Amino acid sequence: MPNGTPSSLSPGLKPVFIAEKKTRKIKRVQPDIKNSAEYQYYDRVEKIARQKKRWLRKAAKEKYTNPVYFGHQNIPKKRPTHKMKYCWECGIRH
């Protein structure tokens, strides 16, 4: 019965399932630019900017802005005039 009617001798046309091929995404590999001169330049610039920011924070402290601290870590004691000592750090008697 070749006319297309199914029977036990000829079961007819089998349905054909075609599976679509899965397409993988192409993994894009970025070039290693960390060793380039341009990357190293920007790395140095950022490092210097961080150092300058740190220095400005430190320079804003009273120790560096107040002239009483001139050359000293702590404010020098105010002694009476007959007990004043010569200071080798700032060259002033106090």
User: What is the tens place of the pLDDT at every residue in 30-86?
Assistant: 777 777 888 889 999 999 999 999 999 988 888 888 888 888 888 888 899 999 989
18 within domain boundaries = no
User: What is the tens place of the pLDDT at every residue in 4-40?
Assistant: 676 777 767 676 777 777 777 778 877 777 778 888 8
42 within domain boundaries = yes
- Which residue range forms the structural domain that includes residue 70? 37-83
User: Which DSSP string do the residues of 9-40 spell out, in sequence order?
Assistant: S---PPPPP-PPPPPPPPPPPPP--TTSHHHH
3-class secondary-structure state, position 72: coil
9 within domain boundaries = no
23 within domain boundaries = no
17 within domain boundaries = no
| Separation of alpha carbons 54 and 51, rounded Å | 5
59 within domain boundaries = yes
Instruction: Give the residue ranges of DSSP H helices in the chain.
Output: 37-59, 62-65
Q: Please determine, for residue 1, whether its predicted confidence score (pLDDT) is greater than 70.
A: no
Q: Could you tell me the CA-to-CA distances from 16 to 10, 13, 19, 23, 64 in Å, in that order?
A: 16, 9, 10, 21, 86
6 within domain boundaries = no
Amino acid in the structure at residue 9? L
- The number of domains in the chain is 1
Q: What is the pTM of this model?
A: 0.44
75 within domain boundaries = yes
